[in-house]
A and B are shown apart, each in its own frame.
Chain A
Amino acid sequence: MRTAFVITPIIERDGDVLRPGYLDKVRSNPHLGPNLLAGILYSYSIDVTVVDLVCNESFDEQIVEQLDQYDVLFFSSNSTNWPGCGLLIRWLKSKKPSAIVILGGIHATLFAEDIIRRYPVDYIVRGEGEKVLMPLLDAIRKGIGFEDVPGLVVKNASGGVIQNPMASLLSPQELDELPLPLYDRLTPGKYRSLTVESSRGCFGNCAFCAIPFKKSWRPMSPERFVDKIELLESARSKTLYRYFTIVDDCFTSDHDRAILISKIISDRGLDFQATFDARVKDLLNEKLVEAIAPFTKGVLIGAESFLPNTLRRIGKYIEPKSIEKCAKTMHEYGIAKDTVFSFIIGFPWESKRDIRENISQIANLVLTWGVQVYLQWHLLTPGSKLWQLALDDGHLQITDIDDVEFITSERWFRASTGLTDEELLDLSDIVFAIKKVMMITSPQGIDSNPITFMLPPHLMKRSERLNTWIEAYERRARPELAAKKWTQ
Chain B
Amino acid sequence: MKSDNDCLQFERDGVKVNTTRTQMAALINNLVFDDQFRTRFSTSYVDMLKKEGIVMDEETIQKLNTQNLSAIVSGLVPQTKNPAAVAVIAAVIVLSTPTPAE
Which residue numbers of A lie inside 8 Å of B, CB to CB? Answer: 21, 25-26, 356, 359-360, 363-364, 367-368, 426, 429-430, 432-437, 439-441, 443, 445-447, 449, 452-455, 457, 460, 466, 470, 473-474, 476-478, 480-481, 484, 486, 488
Considering only CB atoms and an 8 Å cut-off, how many residues of chain B contact the other chain?
A: 50
The answer on a CB contact under 8 Å between B65 and A470 is: yes
Inter-subunit contact B91/A430 (CB<8 Å):
no
Q: Which residue of A lies closest to B76 (CB)?
A: A26
On chain A, the residues within 8 Å of B17 by CB distance are 441, 443
Contact between chains at B42 and A439 (CB < 8 Å): no
Are the C-beta atoms of A439 and B28 separated by less than 8 Å? no
Chain B, range 28-62, C-beta contacts under 8 Å to A: 28-29, 31-33, 35, 38-39, 41-46, 58, 61-62
Docked-complex contact A441 and B8, CB < 8 angstroms: yes
Q: B42 touches which one: A363, A367, A433 (CB < 8 A)?
A: A433
B residues in contact with A488, CB < 8 Å: 73
Which of A360, A434, A437, A449 has a CB less than 8 Å from the CB of B92?
Answer: A437
Q: List 14 A-B contacts (CB under 8 A).
A: A359-B32, A367-B21, A367-B28, A430-B32, A434-B31, A435-B67, A437-B91, A437-B95, A441-B8, A443-B10, A454-B68, A474-B65, A480-B58, A484-B62
**In angstroms, how far is the closest chain B Cβ from the Cβ of A483?**
10
A440 touches B42 (CB 8 A): no
Contacts of B72 in A (CB 8 A): 454-455, 457, 460
Of all chain A residues, the one with the shortest Cβ separation from B79 is A447
Task: Write the nearest CB–CB distance from B66 to chain A, whole angstroms.
Answer: 6
A455 contacts B69, C-beta separation under 8 Å: yes
Contact (Cβ within 8 A) A470 B66 = yes
Residue from B28, B41, B67, B86 within 8 A of A360 (CB atoms): B28
| 8 Å CB contact of B62 from A437, A460, A481 | A481
Whole-angstrom CA separation of A480 from B96 in the bound complex: 27
With a 10 A CB-CB cut-off, give which of B41, B69, B91 has the most chain A CB atoms: B69
Residues in chain A near residue B76, CB distance under 8 A: 26
CA distance A476 to B95 in the complex (A): 17
B32 in contact with A455 (CB, 8 Å)? no
Question: Hey, which chain B residues are within 8 Å of A440, CB to CB?
Answer: 64, 88-89, 91-92
Residues of chain B with a CB closer than 8 A to A25's CB: 75
Chain B contacts for A359, CB-based, 8 A: 32
Residues of B within 8 A of A478 (CB): 46, 58, 61
For chain B residues 1-39, which have a beta carbon within 8 Å of chain A?
Answer: 1, 8, 10, 12, 17, 19, 21, 24-25, 27-29, 31-33, 35, 38-39
Which residues does chain B contribute within 8 Å of A453, judged by CB atoms? 68
How far is it, in angstroms, between the C-alpha of A74 and the C-alpha of B88 when the chains are bound? Answer: 53
- Given the contacts A364-B25, A367-B28, A477 and B89 also touching, CB distance less than 8 Å: no
Give the Cβ gap from B100 to chain A, nearest Cβ, in Å: 18
Q: In the docked arrangement, what's the CA distance between A470 and B61, Å?
A: 12
Q: Does B101 sit within 8 A of A, measured CB to CB? A: no
Instruction: Determine the chain A residues whose CB is within 8 A of the CB of B41 once the complex forms.
Output: 433
Cβ A441 vs Cβ B24 within 8 A: yes
CA distance A432 to B31 in the complex (A): 10
Binary A-proximity of B71-102 (CB < 8 A = 1, otherwise 0): 11101111110000110110110011000000
CB-contact partner of A441 in B19, B44, B46, under 8 A: B19
Provide the bound-state CA to CA distance between A433 and B89, in Å: 14
